[in-house]
Structures are given as C-alpha cells and as structure tokens.
Chains A and B, each alone.
Chain A
Amino acid sequence: MTEKVGVYICHCGTNIAGPVDVAEVARWAKENLKGVALARDYRFMCSSLGQEIIQEDIKNEGLTRVVVAACSPHLHEKTFRSACSKMGLNPYLTQMASIREQVSWVTEDRAAATEKAKMMVAGAVRRVQLQVELQPTEVPVNPNTLVVGGGIAGIQASLELADAGYHVFMVEREPSIGGHMAQFDKTFPTLDCAACILTPKMSDVGLHENIELLSYAEVESVSGYVGSFDVRVRKKARYIIEDACTGCGICIEKCPKKVVDEVFEVGLGYRKAVYRPFPQAVPKFPVIDKETCIYFERGTCKACEKFCPTEAIDFEQTDSYVDLNVGNIIMATGYDLFDCTKIPQYGYGRLANVFTNLEFERLCNAAGPTEGRIVLRDGVTEPKSIGIIHCVGSRDKNYHPYCSAVCCMSALKFGHLAMEKTGAEVYSFYIDMRPLHKNYEEFYDRLLQEGMHFIRGRVAEVTDAARLPGEEGKIIIQAEDTLIGKQRRIPVDMVVLLGALQPRFDAKETGLKFGVSAGLDGWFTERHPKLDPVATMTDGVFIAGTCQGPKDIPDSVTQGAAAAARVQGMIAKGTVLIEPIVASIEEARCSGCRICNNLCPFNAIEYLEDKEVSYINAALCKGCGTCVAACPAQAISGAHFTNDQIFAEMEGLLYDVIGSNGATAKSPQPVLEPA
C-alpha cells in the first residue's frame, strides 16, 4: 500500500524563507518525490494555524504520513507529533527535516541552500514511509522521593514533599543536616540569625513522619529510570547505637582527644574525636571519627564507652547498606569554598590574620571557636581595622571566570557585624557592587550610612612588608583606587578574603552516578538555563540550590521548592510515559555473545541464563543505538531507527546521484562549496 505523505515547508518568518526558496522546495517535492500526496509551504508551521493545516489535511486528504521541514526537532518535534496524534495519526509516523539549523542558518548561497533543503526533504519523505506505529510505555511513578543533600535547598524540598503527604528519603554526607547555612552567623539583608531560622526547619525534618533521614551516609549507586530508581545508600558507621543513644553528650565531654575541626569550624576551631558538628545537630547522635580516635589508633582509651549511661557506643559497628526505591531524585549537594592558598599574593596561610569568608562567619557565630568575638589569630586581640577583599578566585580567568553571586552582600554583612561588635574601621575592596535582589541595594545604602569604606579596586597584594610610616606590624592591602586613579596602601589588622563558591570536589563523579552532567565550570547542568533551571536532561532527576550554580539562600529555597513542586506533579499524575524509541533483541538471531551487555551506558541489557540470550529492559533503554551498531549478528534493532529507515533517509539525501526513487535529476548539480 502506498502511503500518502503530507509535506510542509515552514518559512519560519524569513529565517528559512530568506536563504531557501521554500515555495520551490514544496513544488519540487510534490512533483518529484514518490508518495507525496501534497506539499505546502507556510509562514509558521508551529503556530496553531500551522498545526491546523496539518490536521485538516489528515482529515480531508487521508494523509498517512507527515513530514515537516522546519526548525530542529529539539524544539517542535513534540508539537507536530501531538498535532497529528490528536487527529488519530500515530505520532511516530511523522518526521522533521531540520532545514533551519542545518540549512538556512548555515548556508549563504540561495541556490545551494534550496538544493540542500530539497535533499533533506527527500530524505525525510523516504524515511517516513518506512516508519511504523509505536506506543509509549506507561510506567508507574513511585511516590517516594530521594533528596540528596541536607542543606537549606534539600531541607526545603523535603519539607514541601513531606507536608504534601509523600515519603522522602534524605541522604546527607555529614553527621548532621544544615549544610553551609548552619555555619553562618547572620544572613543578609535581614540580619536574621542563620541558626534561628534554620534550626526550626532542621527540627521539622528530624521529626517529620514522612521524612526518613539517612545522615552520615552517601549514595553508592543509582540505577533505574524515572518513576522507579533503585538506590543503594551506604550508611557510614557512627560507632554509636542510635536506638540507645539519648544525645546526652557525656561521651564528647569525656573524650580526651582534641583535633582541629576542618569541616564545620573550617580549621579554626577544635572538636573531639567523638563529636557532634554543632550543638543543634540533627540528628542528635554523635559520630566517632575513626581517623582520630585513640581506640582505633592504639586500642586504648574507650572513655566514651566507659561513661555512656546507655551503652550506646559500639566500636564493632560497620558500614551498612540500605536499598531504596524512589520515583524521583532531587540533588541538592551544595558547594565547596575556594582554596585561598591558591592565590599566594593574598597571604592566606602565610600571614596569620588573613581569614576566609567562612572562617569569619565562624568568628562571628556565638557558638563558634571564639564565642562570637571577632578577634585576630591570637584569639584575644580585637582588630581596629579590617579589609574585606571581594572576588577572590571569582571573576578571574586564572581560577573561576564566574561571579559567585553572594560575596558583595557578604561583605556588607561582615562590615556591619564587624563595626557593631568591634567598632573597627572596615574597608571593602571591590570591582563592582552587586546587591541584586530585594532589599539588597537598601542594605548597601545602610552600610554606606554606617560608615563602611568602599574602595573600588581589585586588590593587587596583601603583605606584611612595611614601607611607609604607620604600616609597621600591620597587614598592608595594596590596590589601585580606580575612582581616584592612584595606588593606595591601606594598613589593617585583619583581612577577610571573600573566596569563591565552587562545585563540590567530587561533583563530577556524583553527577555521573545520577546521570547528571556538569558544565565547564563544574556546576550541574540544568535542562534549560532560562526556562527550566531545576530539571536535568535525565527525567526524574532534579537539581536545586548551589549545586546548580552560586546563589543566595532565598534562591536556594526557591529552587528546592520548585523541584519539590515538579516531583509532586509527577507523583500526582501517577504515571509517566517512556518513549518507545528503544532497542530490542531478536532472540532467534542472538547467539549469546554478550558483546552488547557491557556496552550499554544505561545498564539496560541483561543476560538470560536460561535462554542463553541477552535481553533489553525497554524501560531503562534510552535508544542510544550503541548495541544496535555493535551486535555482530545484527540481532538488535532500534525502534524508529531501523537500518532500513536510516538507509532510506540516506538514499533520499543522495537523490540526485541515486535517482531510483523517481526523482529525476534536473540540470545542473550544484556543488555545495564550503563557506
């Protein structure tokens, strides 16, 4: 039976119609291509009017296939497929020819562009006649959700899902949730106490009947597909029996081993070998750090065990594994701080009184190593002058080219806190001031009024080599005050470096585990930077918070909520459609060589021992075609990308050489010259 193909050439305004003679292509297609029942050209095929034209033709002319030569399928494949499907024509009986991205946008010569468009239409027309009806698979969506990361974004997402009645598993790498926000003292611009606004949410998470908190745990592996992910979580051994532990803290008190806390106190304070990161930790259970515990080192001590009133210490404890099945995953893994030792001219690590932003937060924090006193490295002296340096590792091609979004506001916050607590003179050295969001500009104005000094000049050097009177014993910040046009040297007691926010050190590996890619800068890639910032290219996996890019707390909360809303939508719908463009193995032809098994990037192929053949799980298969190409027996075919279909398209493209489809090669064959 011959098919009746409808061919539609889109003008896309002048995008296509400019370089390509669209009327000619339509006329040519009707006259020369076998199977074409009608061919039209129209200004905007994707518009409702354009779609209606197709639909009318399906109804009135009995079209059995549709070819739309327009933009990239990435944009409107779905549009045309659903237009056809509404008229009862299976959506997989359509084909697009991308004569915009692949022709009109890249070819200058009109004759050449028109000829190339003809080729592509010929290819699509030949192919579409070999396409067959396909039905998507409907799979159920497991209402459980996995949230990876217990910072403010993860907490927000979890609470929204849990409050809506859905079960959430939250996995957090550190002993307690809270993330970086728990380290802060105050938040800008409201100067809310960070802990005061965060801990109620942390408590909620800890107590919520719908949230299962797996803290001090990491995700080992992820397999599956949207609606049904299988996740293996490794719970690291706390050496504390959670069921017995009351959180009384005696073990911490009695522990004789004190070490520098590199994580929560950012190397500025101490903790014991058995510790809670901070007093309001959720969960309340401490953790014994195997690396520094005397018992694990030398087999002695065990003071914690001796004093624990409920026998909750268990040195024999091992890591345990939990297997979860969830429908969706939200990644909220946060950021790391830039290592300021990478910029030696700023003196961090060499000059005692140079601190990073996170270190300064800990100084200000009342539960911090100095109980909230802003003091120098000697732990005692209050600074009389402080220099705050913006853009340390940010906006710098030598380190990170991007702007870290929060530092300018941090500078204002630090300035306020420093002046309030110590009365010190505070100098901010900036390139641009970026108070972008609600009430941020007003906060800048407030600091101007409070007498903070602003010097527009990126700091060249921070040094202790005194040169001028008044510099002896101080740290000197040298910069050009660009608004004056002169070099200045400002002697200060303390320097605070606003280090860049950067992706977690293992972000790339983590992303790979979940099927999420990281961009050039290392931040997770969203599906669309403007219109879809929380979804990823992997269905069912979402990203929220700073793991997607540097942002402040309100934006992290917003993204956490957005991701939760998307997940709720999926759960409410109950099922999700899996594209039928998958590979399948013809059992009769399969010899069981298993070459395909390890090639599959999605682990969708398994070997059936009893039948001695391989089998593809259609729900896991993403239709990449690797196995199709690799099978030496050609036993695997890819739906919608069969060999016949692909060869047909190629023959269509080469119509002027092959000519066997009835298209007569008209005079002269233009040679497509490279630009």
Chain B
Amino acid sequence: MARSEDYAPDGFLNEVIEATPGGDTLVTCLQCGTCGGSCPSGADMDDTPRRLFAMINAGMREEVLRSNTPWYCVTCYYCMTRCPKQIPITDLMYTLKRMAVREKLYDDRDAPDWSSSFVGFVESYGRSFEFGLATRYHLTHSPLRKVGVGPMALEMIAKDRMSLRPDKIKGVDQLRAILDTAKSLEGV
C-alpha cells in the first residue's frame, strides 16, 4: 500500500512517461482492461498491465518496479494494437524493465539475468551467441531443473542449427563507440 509520506503526486508517473517514446498518452488511460484481457501471459503476472498503470498513477514506485509484470511481457503487442487510447504499452513495459534493473528492484533474477547475458554477447561480438548464452545462463540458474535443455541443445547442434563458436562482426569497435556514446547520452 502506498504510504502517505511516500506520496508524491505524479512524480513516478512523469518519470515513466518521460522515459518512454509516446508515453504522454498514458494519462488518458481509461482503465478499460483491454491490455490485461489480451495479454497471453496475463494470468501469470503479479499485476495485469492495466493494474500496473493504476499503481503507477497512484505513485506506488517500489511495488511497480518489483512486480514481475514487465518481465512476463512477451512483447506480442496485442495490448498496444488494441488499446483504445493508443497507449504504447509494450514500450512502457520496456521502460519499467530498464528502471527495475537500474535500481535492482526485482524479486526473481531469471529474466533480468537472461537479458543481461544476451546483451553481454551482443556487445562483445556484435552478434548474439545462442550456445554461449544458453550455457552461461542455464549453468548459473537452477541447472538441475533444466533437464531438457541439454538434450535439446545437442539436437540443435546435430541439425546444424547452433554454432559452438560465436560469430563476430568486423566493426566491433565502431559498435562499441556507438553504444557507449548512446549510454552516456541518457539515464535509462
């Protein structure tokens, strides 16, 4: 529940809006529930997207950033396409993920870690590296529960659909320069 001393009207809301391209439409949300109703993973989220926006409106910063909702977003864009106010919901989810990571506010590490690992390879090689990603990630995240992964990986390798070595672009330095500049130009 939002405590009165934490209550800064519109503070968190404005933060989220400013960090999202086209986010200004969020204030016109009718709370109709189309997003929550359309979401393929909505039943597994702590809060439906709609409820999350109500919480943002109420300034419940920590609860929102701790919610697993953005991490369960499958970026299918059903919500954004169907929203009667044309609110860029999927982009708002991306913003919340970035904010949660920046402030380390997530209860379940799995999704943020997966993204981090992916990002790490892309920044090193300029390409994603599935084999490296899978091994690095799964070996450090409940490996004993990932019974099927090993055999599946072997099958993919056998079918010539997974390289054991990463591809690397020539312009890695160029890419690095671009990404570093980009990161320095903004917070989230």
Contact = CB atoms under 8 A, between A and B. Distances in A.
Interface of A: 345, 391, 395-398, 431, 456-461, 478-482, 485-487
Interface string B10-54: 000000000000000000001111111111001100011011000
Contacts, number: 67
B85 interface: yes
B123 to A, nearest CB: 37
B82 interface: yes
Interface in B171-188: none
A485 B51 CA distance: 7
Contacts of B43: 486-487
B86 interface: yes
A146 to B, nearest CB: 39
Interface of B: 30-39, 42-43, 47-48, 50-51, 78, 82, 84-86
Contact of A480 (B30, B37, B84, B86): B37
A396 B83 CA distance: 8
B42 A458 contact: no
A461 B42 CA distance: 14
Contact of A487 (B30, B32, B42): B42
B86 A398 contact: yes
Nearest to A485: B51
Name the residue in B32, B50, B86 with the highest tally of chain A Cβ atoms < 10 Å from its Cβ: B32
Nearest to A460: B37
Contact of A457 (B36, B78, B82, B86): B36
13 contacts: A391-B32, A395-B84, A398-B86, A431-B32, A457-B37, A458-B34, A459-B37, A478-B37, A479-B33, A480-B35, A480-B36, A485-B48, A485-B51
A391 to B, nearest CB: 8
A460 B83 CA distance: 10
Given A460-B38, A486-B48, A480 B33 contact: yes
Contacts of A395: 30, 84
A398 B48 contact: no
A144 B97 CA distance: 69
A662 to B, nearest CB: 53
Given A431-B30, A457-B33, A482 B85 contact: no
A487 B84 contact: no
Given A480-B42, A486-B43, A487-B43, A460 B51 contact: no
Nearest to B78: A460
Nearest to A488: B37
Nearest to A459: B37
Given A486-B43, A487-B43, A345 B82 contact: yes
Nearest to B86: A397
Nearest to B79: A460
A197 B20 CA distance: 55
B40 to A, nearest CB: 10
Nearest to A390: B32
B86 A482 contact: no
A480 B33 CA distance: 5
Contact of B39 (A345, A391, A397, A487): A487
Contacts of A458: 32-34, 37, 84
Contact of A397 (B37, B50, B51, B85): B85
Residue in A391, A431, A487 with the greatest tally of chain B CB atoms within 10 Å: A487
A485 B39 CA distance: 13
Contacts of B34: 458-460, 480
A429 to B, nearest CB: 9
A480 B39 CA distance: 9
Nearest to A481: B33
A478 B51 CA distance: 17
Contacts of A487: 36-37, 39, 42-43, 48
A395 B29 CA distance: 12
Contacts of A482: 31-33, 36, 50-51
Nearest to A431: B32
Contacts of B38: 460-461, 478
